[in-house]
């Protein structure tokens, strides 16, 4: 189920780049999704629980992309990322 959430975040962040390229739209679409992912992760170091999984690497790539698009906004807004 978490994989679906991460893939959804990736699609919401990358598909506009191929169409309109509107960074503000990407930020607006991704903010609630990232907020939910941060809530799911809680105080854990990893997205899927106590152990590092392949999903953490995929998620880290997506988060880094979204943070780059937002010019550092999301790392500031969600420090646990």
| Residues 22, 63: Cα–Cα separation, whole Å | 17
| Tens-level pLDDT at each residue, the chain (81 residues) | 899 999 999 999 888 878 877 888 889 989 999 999 999 998 898 998 889 999 999 999 999 999 998 898 899 999 888
Instruction: Say what the pLDDT of residue 26 is.
Output: 87
Instruction: Say what the pLDDT of residue 24 is.
Output: 87
Residue 46: strand, helix, or coil = strand
- Domains identified in the chain, total number: 1
Instruction: Say what the pLDDT of residue 53 is.
Output: 94
Burial class (CB in 10 A: 0-12, 13-18, 19+), 74: buried
- Domain containing 34 equals 2-77
Instruction: Say what the pLDDT of residue 5 is.
Output: 93
Instruction: Say what the pLDDT of residue 39 is.
Output: 92
């Amino acid at each position: 189920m978490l994989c679906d959430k991460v893939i959804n975040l990736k699609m919401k962040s990358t598909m506009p780049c191929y169409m309109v390229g509107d960074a503000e739209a990407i930020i607006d679409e991704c903010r609630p999704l990232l907020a939910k992912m941060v809530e799911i992760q809680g105080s854990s170091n990893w997205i899927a629980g106590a152990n590092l999984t392949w999903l953490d690497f995929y998620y880290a790539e997506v988060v880094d992309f979204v943070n780059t698009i937002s010019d550092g906004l999301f790392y500031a807004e969600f420090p646990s990322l």
